[in-house]
Amino acid sequence: MKHGPVLLAALLAAWLAAPLPAAEIYVPALELCTLGRTEGGVFGLHSRGELDLRVEGGYKFGGRLVFGFFSDSLETAAQSTEPLLSFKAVGIRIRDLFALPLDFAYFLGEQDTFCSGELFDERFGAYPFASRYPSWLHFPESSFLYEGIHTVSGTGFGLDFKLKKDVALLSLHLYQDGHFVEEGPPLSFEYGHWSADLRAALNLSKVKLEAFLGATSAAQSAYGYYRGGLLFYVADQSVEFLLQAGIPRWAPEEPFGIDRLYLLVEPRVRLGAFSVVPTFFWRPSYFLLKSTGEQAFDINLDFGIGKPAEWPLAGGLEGNFVYQTKEEGTLVNELRVRLSPYVQFITPGVLWEVRLNAKILPFDAGDLLEVLIAVKAGF
């Protein structure tokens, strides 16, 4: 839409015109990642980054406007003629509708992500417990980061039933789905695909539970697409366990196989300053209603020393084993092994991580080592 930047600027200007005490502007996330590697005998750097700019105001009639920036090639982004910030979401939330424990929301763009763990720290104020495995550190060149099992995106309405404050939540989303697009230029949205998602969450002191079911009407399927998932987390002293399991997309006329499954299992053992975190991850063949073009089973073993959230310096060693059966739609059947010693340190508001990736299999002396620097900042 050629008038998009003008419209977004007008929305932002109108929002900022409100009295300052009624609005807050902040950056909830800023992530940068630089990968150094040798290609064709030449060592070079490749950087990617993501930033969200969020404007919120008013508790009773809560408004939210989100702009985002993402680039998988920051070296060329500065030369781009396209606007750096793009629209991500806007919404108006009416809390305690009719004096009931019911919130009503009207939204456009990206909304809640199911079974990622973000619900519990955003809505309930729980300590973050999400797995750090599906990240740029582990997928520095992948198009899919597999954050949660499904993300609501489109234009519609949401209802949150607060069954018990800070303990239980039941949500319903009804919307025109925004995941159906034809790749441009120009980018073309396929309107008329309708979705519904029902989610329930339980927040206890040691147990976190989230489950959802969803359906989408789609011209590509005579009976529509269906999805569902479950997140289960339990912690007791030095032991934690995280499970994320679900089906991101299934059509009744399609054969059902294990390739449809999203499965992440992560037991964690922490003994003082030492920790062992094995992650077992089965990548789904469909994610966000699209084919990923890949299929793989990952095992990641993280041996850590230190307490990253408390100590200024921590580190460890990761062993990553991936059996890749399909990549970019092509059968490969290849075992990939990588060892990664890493160091983490904290400066005010910023978590730094530096790691050295050694590619053991498949072995290539010219592409054996990679250096990766990641920065995650909170404001």
Q: Is-contact 174 272, C-beta < 8 A?
A: no
Q: Is-contact 325 336, C-beta < 8 A?
A: no
pLDDT band of residue 5 (cuts 50, 70, 90) is: very low
The SS3 of residue 274 is strand
Give me the pLDDT at residue 328, please.
80
Report CA-CA distances (Å) from 42 to 38, 88, 141, 270, 366: 5, 37, 18, 41, 10
Give me the pLDDT at residue 3, please.
44
Q: Provide the residue ranges of all domains of the chain, joining segments of one domain with +.
A: 1-35+48-88
For residue 1, pLDDT beyond 50: no
Q: What does the mean pLDDT of the chain come to?
A: 87
Q: Is-contact 87 8, C-beta < 8 A?
A: yes
Give me the pLDDT at residue 237, please.
87
Q: Can you tell me the mean pLDDT for 57-81?
A: 78
* Burial 202-213, CB ≥16 within 10 A → b, else e: bbeeeebbbbbe
DSSP lists the bridge partners of residue 297 as 282, 323
Q: Can you tell me the mean pLDDT for 81-95?
A: 83
For residue 314, pLDDT beyond 60: yes
- Taking only the tens place, the pLDDT of each residue in 210-248 is 999 999 998 778 899 999 999 999 999 899 999 999 999
Tokens of 110: 């990206």
Q: Can you tell me the mean pLDDT for 71-80?
A: 78
- Taking only the tens place, the pLDDT of each residue in 133-169 is 988 788 876 767 898 999 999 999 999 998 887 899 9
Which of 67-71, 102-106, 156-160, 262-266 bottoms out in mean pLDDT, i.e. has the lowest? Answer: 67-71
For residue 60, pLDDT beyond 80: no
Give me the pLDDT at residue 112, please.
93
Give me the pLDDT at residue 364, please.
83
Give me the pLDDT at residue 143, please.
67
Give me the pLDDT at residue 42, please.
86
Residues 361 and 339: their CA atoms lie apart, in Å, by 10
pLDDT band of residue 187 (cuts 50, 70, 90) is: low
Give me the pLDDT at residue 7, please.
47
> To the nearest whole percent, how much of the chain has pLDDT over 70?
88
Residues 300 and 340: their CA atoms lie apart, in Å, by 11
For residue 15, pLDDT beyond 50: no
For residue 21, pLDDT beyond 70: no
Residues 251 and 259: their CA atoms lie apart, in Å, by 13
Residues 297 and 251: their CA atoms lie apart, in Å, by 23
Please choose, from the candidates 103, 81, 105, the residue with its C-alpha nearest in 3D space to the C-alpha of residue 91.
Answer: 105
Q: Can you tell me the mean pLDDT for 333-356?
A: 92
Give me the pLDDT at residue 43, please.
87
Give me the pLDDT at residue 365, please.
80
Give me the pLDDT at residue 96, please.
87
The residue that leads in pLDDT, 75 or 324, is 324
Which of 29-43, 103-117, 147-161, 226-240 bottoms out in mean pLDDT, i.e. has the lowest? Answer: 29-43
Give me the pLDDT at residue 239, please.
96
pLDDT band of residue 57 (cuts 50, 70, 90) is: confident
For residue 6, pLDDT beyond 70: no
Task: Report how far apart the first and last C-alpha atoms of the chain are (Å, whole number).
Answer: 32
